[in-house]
């Protein structure tokens, strides 16, 4: 599932992030890449224990908690502390699959995170750079994504994906991984679709008796599939 979630950050928050990142200490992006990914990765990022990364990452996680679409789609159990990257002209990230398990080196998490879902939160507007699209291989072909600043893409961490080389400007983003309460992607999608259907019915027919029944089905399925 590829899901575009608009306005995780508002424009005032985006400006704050850009100001803080402009003065940050960037390091080689290979520091968090696996063996295979390191061969394809050319970018800069903040170190996992960088104070700016910690500060802004906390703001991202607060914003995520307030977004009902994100919560319904991801059913998050654990979120890896958000990281931040910077792509300049000539930078890119070749085709790769994210590591199945991530270990936090910043000290914010004590447990490993199973990467069920990947998230990219765009911090640069599409008109600020050429190239730099996030390309995700899907069952219907390659999907090229460049979202407005403040918007986020949620997608399977098991997918092959890449970032096209930058040819003008620079691209800033936050990226992180989510371990879901529901491990199976198909089960998560069914729960998300059911949740959306319940919301639509509730908007058009507030007192419809099926709302209670459908909500019960949703929670019983979640109870069956969740792995707390």
pLDDT in tens, 73-114: 999 999 999 999 999 999 999 999 999 999 998 888 888 999
Domain shared by 160 and 208, yes or no: no
Which whole number is the average pLDDT over 114-141? 96
Residue 161: pLDDT above 80? yes
Does residue 90 come out as left (phi exceeding 0), alpha (psi in the -120 to 50 range) or beta?
left
Q: Report the alpha-carbon distance of residue 209 to residue 205 in Å, rounded.
A: 9
Identify which has the larger pLDDT, 139 or 34.
139
Q: Report the alpha-carbon distance of residue 216 to residue 35 in Å, rounded.
A: 45
How many domains does the chain fold into? 2
Domain shared by 75 and 18, yes or no: yes
- Single pTM value for the model: 0.93
Domain shared by 163 and 195, yes or no: no
pLDDT of residue 33: 60
Residue 32: pLDDT above 70? no
The number of beta carbons lying within 10 Å of the beta carbon of residue 221 is: 15
Containing H/E element for 190? helix 185-204
Q: Report the alpha-carbon distance of residue 115 to residue 95 in Å, rounded.
A: 17
- Domain extent, residue 107, equals 3-180
Domain shared by 22 and 86, yes or no: yes
């Amino acid at each position: 599932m590829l899901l575009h979630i608009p306005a995780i950050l508002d424009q005032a928050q985006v400006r704050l992030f850009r100001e803080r990142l402009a003065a940050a200490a960037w390091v080689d992006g290979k520091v968090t890449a696996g063996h295979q990914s390191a061969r394809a990765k050319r970018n800069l990022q903040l170190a996992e224990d960088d104070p700016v990364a910690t500060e802004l990452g906390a703001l991202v996680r607060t914003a995520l908690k307030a977004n009902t679409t994100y919560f319904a789609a991801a059913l998050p159990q654990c979120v890896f502390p958000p990281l931040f990257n910077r792509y300049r002209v000539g930078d890119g990230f070749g085709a790769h699959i994210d590591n199945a398990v991530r270990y936090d080196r910043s000290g914010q998490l004590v447990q490993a995170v199973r990467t069920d879902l990947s998230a990219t939160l765009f911090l640069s507007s599409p008109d600020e750079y050429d190239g730099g699209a996030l390309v995700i291989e899907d069952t219907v072909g390659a999907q090229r994504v460049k979202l407005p600043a403040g918007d986020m893409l949620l997608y399977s961490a098991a997918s092959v994906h890449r970032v096209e080389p930058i040819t003008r400007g620079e691209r800033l983003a936050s990226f992180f991984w989510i371990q879901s309460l529901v491990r199976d992607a198909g089960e998560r999608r069914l729960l998300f679709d059911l949740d959306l259907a319940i919301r639509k019915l509730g908007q058009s027919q507030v007192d419809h008796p099926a709302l209670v029944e459908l909500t019960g089905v949703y929670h019983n399925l979640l109870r069956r599939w969740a792995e707390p």
